[in-house]
Amino acid sequence: MSEEILIIISISLIIFTSPLISKILKLPTITVEIILGAVAGYFALISEHSILELVAELGFLYLMFLAGLEVDLKKIINTSATILKKSLMYNVILFSLAAVISFYLDIGYIFIVILPLISIGVLAALKKEYGDVDWIKLSITVGLIGEIVSIFALTTVAAALEFGINSEFYKTMVLFTIFLVAMLVLYKLFHNLVWWYPEIKTYLMPERDHQEQDIRVSMAIFFLMISVMIYLHLEVAFGAFIAGTFITTFFDEHNKGLSHKLEHFGFGWLVPIFFIYIGSSFDLTSLTEDGLVKTAFLIAIAMIVIRFIASLLFVKEMGWNKFYMIGLSHSMPLTLLIAVATIAYHNHSITQFYYYAFILSAIMEVLIVMVAIRVLSNFIKPTKKVA
């Protein structure tokens, strides 16, 4: 059997069986996909291949696009000033504590960016399991702002790792700032345009759509933003994220089912390939390497502890009996943690040892946090109100 056929069959079986196994083990499907990918890589069922790497990269970009779909700029703008300020302060505390840990232990500047990362992707799984309760609502609001900060950090780090701190880096950051300003201007222009001519939305995404035009428009924006970022030599993942944010902000109310269609399209096959690929790149024999498991565990604990400390900001809103749920729910930045670790490893900023440690810690965090939330949620009175 040829290498290509073996890879296709293996990936197909993992994509099919992952949801079934995750239900049995009560783990996020993402975690199962990474683990099965690692097992497949260990038995040489999945090996390095240029086409697989390309599809995995596309899966990662689509994942960032889906992360952008979670961010509705209108909702963030309408967030109360108190919550907005506390959310920003929450991120300041996370980065400050990460800096203290990094300098004290002398473990490298990359940890200042990695330890505070927030990704709300796994929060969707918590929402499905525990419902639209108050701590999940607040976690999502705070997490949205945290994820935007994390994406900015990802873009800055990617530029620093690629060019170093020199004229090229500053040029890239100036371009990045100009790009952000241009996006804000475009947002305002398009907002005014659809306010005066609301039929534009219907024209782009008709209610009776037999050609899947809503998907076509979304993919056009997705690839257009990727092209712009490649041309400007900026972090492509940020362009994918912006594309998702644009779709949600302007078309979510008009086409309420669009986000779900795009999620089904991605999580059905494209995104899993990225996580399977990440798993296959993890050498299971490295688990016996001296200090790897301990290092991964310490990274996971450090990320959980700094979020617990930062979540003290929300004692007034949540009370002493559940403020920590905010920090716990943000302690699973699975996607962004792997993304930043992958970028850092490819740019030789971290060794393979730490690359494996970060992947392993991402899995550990999910296991630890999921169990902790399940246990602690039993002691919380169900309520639908947000303080």
Q: What is the pLDDT of residue 12?
A: 94
Cβ atoms < 10 Å from Cβ of 232: 15
Q: Of all helices (H) and strands (E), which one includes residue 192?
A: helix 167-196
- Residue 20: burial class (beta carbons within 10 Å; 0-12, 13-18, 19+): exposed
Residue 147 near residue 67 (C-beta atoms within 8 A): yes
Residue 114 near residue 337 (C-beta atoms within 8 A): yes
Task: Please list the pLDDT of the chain residue by residue as tens digits (387 residues).
Answer: 688 899 999 999 999 999 999 888 877 787 788 889 989 999 989 888 888 889 988 988 888 888 788 777 777 777 788 888 999 999 999 999 999 998 888 777 788 888 998 877 667 667 766 777 788 888 888 888 888 888 788 778 777 777 777 788 888 888 888 888 888 888 888 888 888 888 887 788 777 767 788 888 899 999 999 999 888 877 787 888 889 888 888 887 666 778 788 888 888 888 889 889 988 888 888 888 888 999 999 999 999 999 999 999 999 888 888 889 999 988 888 777 887 887 788 778 788 898 899 989 988 888 888 888 878 877 766 554 444
Q: For the chain, what is the radius of gyration of the CA atoms?
A: 21
Buried b (16+ CB within 10 A) or exposed e, 156-188: bbbbbbbbeeeeebeebbeebeebeeeeeeebe
In tens, the pLDDT along 289-301 reads 888 999 999 999 9
Cα–Cα distance between 10 and 161 in angstroms, integer?
Answer: 34
Residue 83 near residue 138 (C-beta atoms within 8 A): yes
Q: What is the pLDDT of residue 138?
A: 86
Q: What is the DSSP string of 307-321?
A: HHHHGGGGHHHH-TT
